[in-house]
């Protein structure tokens, strides 16, 4: 359905300066809803996590969830925001069946947090500072399911069902100021920004922050202008982009699409757009003019929220170490190079390695396992490291067996394979399957004698001073013991037997 001519991305960013604006919604992991005692749960049966308040039945009133305020303040503090001394909720009014009251209780001109910033680290280590305009609290809407049509969208549907389980779930919406000056890196900046927020939400433990569940949703505004000195161009807003990769692709696409329009002398329409995973393209949603009138007014059913400064400072003091600071600390503690650290972070192995180290492995060994054998396994199975059926504690145990010379590296890989197959913990597997290194001299001596007897030419070479030829004797012994022989000890015995030690 696309009609706009696309411009090659590199050409587009050569001719135009892209500007981003990102709105991120995060669902808070409170026990109950924003204004209501109904449980805040994912995937309960439709319309079961509800009360008269969630349904907006006549006569019901909202009451603010104190935990949600606490979480919103924590997010604000983590994003270096000011926290309002006094702020009100407002009603954002529009008619839609997923809104039980036909208004959303939100914050309008009095957000709980404002004027912040966050440093976003790109994959190559470059840092971009993103300014935060505001973070405000609001309630989520219910979920519509459209039936009878081919696409599952409302167009062509014959009937729709509404599930109000999500209605009233607490959200914090974080709005950036225009992100300027990032040029061709705009797509990765957008994705890295949202990833940075996702990591902060998890560290703060205010949300599970699972993108695939819609716990974190991003609306990405993109506009182009001829040069950084020009006024801002007309923007489009791509709604509900739900993965980092999709964010990157959608921004990239919008830049190419808008450049095509501008090149042809056209004007970009201010509208919301939808991103399609399959094609990597965006399509027109609804035209959004600045004149859209939500008739905001202060919510008269709620009293203002006025967090005391003492409480805010208490929350600030109790903030956990944030991801960026933690990365800096671990870099120092582990002694990795910058490049190694970035690879670890990009592979999503930071937490896993940290846990592995905490369980007793050395940082180098932990990195070797997670970035080596396990990364390969994950890639083979097209999955993420954290989805693998092995725990950091098991890796540390495995490394402990190697360090204690119970097994060698080669056997260790076999043991890991069995762990991944769900056969148990490494030490138990080694025990049960008799995989421990054979260093019993009586067994090894027999094997050595046999090898010496069968390879007189090699023995001559060794005796003649070509000690490195000893490998030709060790190889068959290792083979005969299926790799379990302690290669070091075998070598020692050969030398003893040949009278060379």
Partner 1 sequence: MSNDIIRRSAAAQAAALQAGEVSAEELTRAHLDRIEAVDGELNAFLHLNQEDALATARDVDSRRTAGEQLHPLAGVPIAVKDVVVTKGMPTTAGSKILEGWVPPYDATLVERLREAGLPILGKTNMDEFAMGSSTETSAYGPTRNPWDRERIPGGSGGGSSAAVAAYEAPLAIGTDTGGSIRQPGAVTGTVGVKPTYGSVSRYGLIAMASSLDQAGPVTRTVEDSALLHELIAGHDVRDSTSLPDPVGSYVEAARRRDVKGLRIGVIEELKGEGFAAEVRARFQESLEQLEQAGAEIVRVSCPNFRYALGAYYLIMPSEASSNLAKFDGMRFGLRVVPEGGATAEQVMAATRGAGFGAEVKRRILLGTYALSAGYYDAYYGSAQKVRTLVQRDFSAAFEKVDVLASPTAPTVAFHLGEKLDDPMAMYLNDIATIPANLAGTPGISVPSGLAEDGLPAGIQFLAPARADERLYRVGGALEALLEDAWGGPLLDKAPELAGGVN
Residue 52 within binding range of partner 1, rule CB under 8 A:
yes
Alpha-carbon Rg of the chain, whole angstroms? 30
Tokens of 106: 């939100």
Return the range that interacts with partner 1 (CB under 8 A); candidates 297-305, 328-336, 353-361, 419-427. 297-305
Separation of alpha carbons 260 and 224, rounded Å: 11
CB nearer to partner 1: pick between 159 and 309: 159
Residue 91 within binding range of partner 1, rule CB under 8 A:
yes
Residue 92 beta carbon to partner 1: minimum distance, rounded to whole angstroms: 10
CB nearer to partner 1: pick between 162 and 175: 162
Residue 93 within binding range of partner 1, rule CB under 8 A:
yes
Distant-in-sequence, close-in-space partners of 303: CB < 8 Å, separation ≥ 6: none
Residue 63 within binding range of partner 1, rule CB under 8 A:
yes
Interface pick for partner 1 out of 210, 213, 245, 295 (rule CB under 8 A): 295
Residue 393 within binding range of partner 1, rule CB under 8 A:
no
Residue 289 within binding range of partner 1, rule CB under 8 A:
no
Residue 164 beta carbon to partner 1: minimum distance, rounded to whole angstroms: 8
CB burial string 305-344: b at 16+ within 10 A, e below = bebeeeebeebeeeeeebbbebbeebbeebebeeebbbbb
Residue 160 beta carbon to partner 1: minimum distance, rounded to whole angstroms: 7
Return the range that interacts with partner 1 (CB under 8 A); candidates 20-28, 92-100, 326-334, 486-494. 92-100
Contact status, residue 116 vs residue 139, Cβ threshold 8 Å: no
Residue 303 within binding range of partner 1, rule CB under 8 A:
yes
Tokens of 362: 């050395």
Q: Which helix (H) or strand (E) holds 258?
A: helix 244-263
Contact status, residue 483 vs residue 408, Cβ threshold 8 Å: yes
Residue 160 within binding range of partner 1, rule CB under 8 A:
yes
Q: Which helix (H) or strand (E) holds 334?
A: helix 323-334
Interface pick for partner 1 out of 18, 21, 29, 56 (rule CB under 8 A): 56
Interface pick for partner 1 out of 15, 25, 67, 101 (rule CB under 8 A): 101
Residue 269 beta carbon to partner 1: minimum distance, rounded to whole angstroms: 21
Q: Cα 82 to the chain's mean position, in Å?
A: 27
Q: How many residues make contact with partner 1 (CB under 8 A)?
A: 31
Residue 100 within binding range of partner 1, rule CB under 8 A:
yes
* Torsion angle in degrees (nearest 10) through CA of 173, 123, 182, 264: -90
Residue 302 within binding range of partner 1, rule CB under 8 A:
yes
**In terms of DSSP bridges, do strands 103-106 and 113-121 run parallel, antiparallel, or are they unpaired?**
unpaired
Query: Taking Cα atoms as reference points, which of 13, 498, 435, 499 lies closest to residue 253?
Result: 13
Return the range that interacts with partner 1 (CB under 8 A); candidates 53-61, 224-232, 274-282, 368-376. 53-61
Contact status, residue 118 vs residue 132, Cβ threshold 8 Å: yes
Residue 397 beta carbon to partner 1: minimum distance, rounded to whole angstroms: 51
Separation of alpha carbons 243 and 211, rounded Å: 6
Tokens of 241: 């982009």
Interface pick for partner 1 out of 1, 95, 155, 464 (rule CB under 8 A): 95
Separation of alpha carbons 19 and 247, rounded Å: 14
Residue 114 beta carbon to partner 1: minimum distance, rounded to whole angstroms: 22
CB nearer to partner 1: pick between 89 and 201: 89
Residue 300 within binding range of partner 1, rule CB under 8 A:
yes
Q: What are phi and psi of 214, to 5 degrees?
A: 80, 15
Q: What are phi and psi of 50, to 5 degrees?
A: -140, 160
Residue 294 beta carbon to partner 1: minimum distance, rounded to whole angstroms: 8
Distant-in-sequence, close-in-space partners of 106: CB < 8 Å, separation ≥ 6: 89, 90, 91, 92, 136, 137, 138, 139
CB nearer to partner 1: pick between 62 and 260: 62
Return the range that interacts with partner 1 (CB under 8 A); candidates 48-56, 249-257, 356-364, 471-479. 48-56
Q: What are phi and psi of 238, to 5 degrees?
A: -90, 120
Residue 323 within binding range of partner 1, rule CB under 8 A:
no
CB nearer to partner 1: pick between 187 and 307: 307
Residue 62 beta carbon to partner 1: minimum distance, rounded to whole angstroms: 7
Interface pick for partner 1 out of 45, 229, 293, 409 (rule CB under 8 A): 293
Distant-in-sequence, close-in-space partners of 174: CB < 8 Å, separation ≥ 6: 23, 24, 25, 26, 75, 79, 132, 134, 135, 197
Return the range that interacts with partner 1 (CB under 8 A); candidates 16-24, 99-107, 329-337, 411-419. 99-107
Residue 61 within binding range of partner 1, rule CB under 8 A:
yes
Full DSSP string of 126-139: -EEEEEEEEEEEEE
Contact status, residue 103 vs residue 82, Cβ threshold 8 Å: no
Return the range that interacts with partner 1 (CB under 8 A); candidates 293-301, 362-370, 408-416, 479-487. 293-301
Residue 488 within binding range of partner 1, rule CB under 8 A:
no
Return the range that interacts with partner 1 (CB under 8 A); candidates 61-69, 321-329, 420-428, 439-447. 61-69
Return the range that interacts with partner 1 (CB under 8 A); candidates 62-70, 131-139, 242-250, 388-396. 62-70
Separation of alpha carbons 366 and 387, rounded Å: 17
Separation of alpha carbons 346 and 352, rounded Å: 13
Query: Taking Cα atoms as reference points, which of 179, 195, 200 lies closest to residue 325?
Result: 200
Binding site for partner 1 (CB under 8 A): 52, 55-64, 91, 93, 95-97, 100-103, 160, 162, 291, 293, 295-297, 300-303
């Amino acid at each position: 359905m696309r009609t706009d001519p696309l411009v090659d991305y590199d050409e587009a960013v050569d001719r135009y300066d892209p500007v981003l604006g990102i709105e991120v919604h995060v669902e808070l992991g409170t026990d109950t809803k924003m204004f209501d005692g109904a449980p805040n749960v994912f995937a309960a049966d439709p319309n079961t996590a509800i009360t008269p308040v969630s349904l907006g039945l006549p006569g019901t009133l909202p009451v603010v969830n104190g935990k949600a305020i606490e979480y919103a303040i924590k997010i604000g503090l983590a994003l270096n925001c000011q926290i309002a001394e006094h702020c009100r909720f407002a009603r954002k009014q529009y008619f839609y069946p997923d809104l039980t009251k036909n208004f959303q209780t939100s914050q309008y001109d009095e957000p709980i947090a404002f004027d912040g910033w966050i440093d976003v680290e790109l994959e190559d280590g470059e840092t971009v500072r993103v300014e935060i305009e505001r973070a405000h609290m609001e309630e989520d809407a219910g979920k519509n399911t459209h039936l009878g049509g081919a696409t599952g969208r409302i167009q062509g549907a014959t009937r729709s069902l509404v599930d109000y389980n999500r209605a009233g779930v607490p959200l914090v919406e974080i709005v950036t100021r225009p992100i300027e000056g990032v040029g061709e890196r705009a797509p990765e900046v957008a994705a890295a920004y949202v990833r940075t927020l996702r990591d902060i939400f998890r560290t703060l433990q205010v949300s599970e922050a699972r993108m695939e569940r819609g716990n974190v949703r991003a609306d990405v505004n993109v506009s182009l202008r001829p040069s950084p000195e020009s006024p801002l161009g007309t923007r489009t807003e791509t709604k509900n982009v739900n993965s980092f990769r999709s964010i990157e692709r959608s921004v990239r696409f919008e830049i190419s699409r808008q450049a095509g329009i501008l090149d042809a002398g056209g004007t970009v329409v201010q509208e919301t757009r939808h991103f399609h995973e399959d094609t990597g393209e965006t399509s027109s949603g609804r035209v959004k003019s600045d004149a859209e009138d939500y008739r905001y007014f202060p919510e008269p059913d709620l009293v203002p929220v006025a967090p005391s400064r003492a409480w805010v400072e208490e929350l600030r003091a109790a903030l956990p170490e944030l991801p960026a600071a933690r990365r800096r600390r671990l870099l120092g503690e582990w002694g990795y190079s910058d490049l190694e650290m970035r690879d670890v972070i990009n592979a999503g192995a930071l937490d896993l390695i940290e846990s592995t180290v905490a369980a007793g492995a050395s940082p180098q060994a932990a990195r070797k396992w997670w970035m080596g054998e396990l990364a390969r396994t994950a890639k083979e199975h097209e999955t993420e490291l954290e989805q693998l059926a092995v725990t950091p504690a098991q890796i540390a145990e495995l490394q402990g067996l190697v360090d204690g010379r119970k097994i060698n590296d080669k056997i260790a890989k076999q043991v890991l394979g069995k762990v991944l197959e769900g056969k148990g913990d490494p030490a138990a597997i080694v025990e049960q399957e008799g995989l421990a290194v054979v260093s019993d001299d009586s067994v090894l001596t027999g094997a050595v004698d046999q090898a010496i007897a069968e390879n007189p030419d090699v023995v001559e070479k060794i005796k003649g001073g070509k000690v490195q030829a000893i490998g030709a004797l060790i190889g068959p012994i290792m083979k005969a013991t299926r790799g379990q022989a302690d290669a070091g000890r075998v070598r020692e015995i050969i030398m003893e037997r040949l009278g060379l030690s």
